[in-house]
Structure 1
């Protein structure tokens, strides 16, 4: 069934547009800034968004101009460093960034890590400039660590796929976006698929559209095309037919928070995939750095799930670049005026439905509270408290 509905390999080619880093620190004459690739404009336009203070970064986080658990942690750390460098209240900036979105634990981790570095420098007698430098050093260290973690996760993930699915020809289904747009490196779940592609083992990457904001269609397909991967886009509600036809060998997703018992919060639509995977005896694999584990959240029921605005469901939002004369960012109503919408940003998959969690520290399978605690204990440098 699969390939007659997929584009041919001749249709799969990089865009040829120069890549822009998802995030970078810059120091123009006017003062330090944090520069983001504005993900709300992709794939139509690669455009940068410049943040001169933490509040601008908070707005970029809430509007999803920057997104994805690992990158949010990196962004938050740089945001604290930016506040310090520009003479703003560091503690206030850290608090604002940590609470910008409730589900992604990496936000608080990154903010508190840079804040701790700043405070330590102050206690040790550093002046404002040196203390700001310490916060920036912490942000850059987190950025580099995440890049290394990405490479390790990709290697561990491919090894797991080869163990579970010997012989290659992997047909991987993924949800939302988990590539270089969410990471200091090449991503989490997407990085595993990319490594499989480079090894000649990827037969097809099935890309869930990821409604209502289309992160799969806009972002994962964008990254897959740039990397020359064999990919096919599908609506979220078509996934069941793929499983029924035997066209999925494994599901790979990322995570925004992993509770102490191994419950996984990820983009809404992940839990139904886990149920489908269990019914069809397909491995369901979560790929995430250890920084995504929150031992202070005991179980899935304790994870706060972000509820987003109704208009994301009741309207189809035009791309943030004008199309056919439409106003950029404008919404087209698809439901009667006044319709209420249920719009959780995430759902939670219980550990018994997760085949394995892949981290930079290795693969956890089966997923248990004891195993999760062990991963964190082995993690390099431990965790910075988020409260």
Structure 2
């Protein structure tokens, strides 16, 4: 199968995997041929990638270390919890949080287990899943990216679990932000942006009142928008003043934000997201963490179509660890003409590089 962006998909393409909503309900079944209306609707709903059938690539295996069922369950849990906090009075929020934090902790444990059992690098998280609110899916994606980074850094298991819960709840302060500001589709005014910038502190104030979680979880919410050079918010702290968890979440938060579809812009490709992190490496983001995070991400995920520097068109077949920029590919075209497919290991053919992605 192939993994293609909805901006590159063509009418009549057959789905290889179903499209789900965040409740686990199938919205479009596999084996369906997509119409122009379906493709446009997928774009409107924020679907970035889909899996399609293709006779030349049906044997390509596309797996994710985190199961689709777990992602769906986690998103639904965050959605239900955040929505409940928002509807209740402030005095009841602490009690409600006590009742839901244990469930989130269990999900973090399961995510850790799946990540450690499967050594595959992470593919993009914004595929085949439609969530009706960005905050919920973003919270889960950031958790997965943060756990993968912490695991690659060889942090102790207990610390990784704390980080995971902090990541799941890092945006809980947004339940205190007016919906008309939080969900505004147009450009925010300066006043509205200042309101948005209060969510880390609001989340911290809420979380620190809970006796069932470490205070460090609250600081994950407080610090995920701080930057090394002091240009972040809400406090503008810098460098060693930022806890390592705040630095990890800063990397994970930005990467998921730029590689996810939003109403005001299309999702970036993984390489573009990594480029943003590298551009801010050492100034905005911890340099060592960015380098380590790079090891957890499939720059060119299995199944994507690429153009090589010698004008050949190929599909990524398998990752090459640790040379993820140079995967094994299957050539399907030469100079625009179809050929009998053959494989090329870019780790050994050093004069050929990938120059375009998802063509």
Q: State the TM-score bracket (shorter-chain normalisation).
A: under 0.3
> What's the TM-score once normalised by structure 2's chain length?
0.26
> What's the TM-score once normalised by structure 1's chain length?
0.25
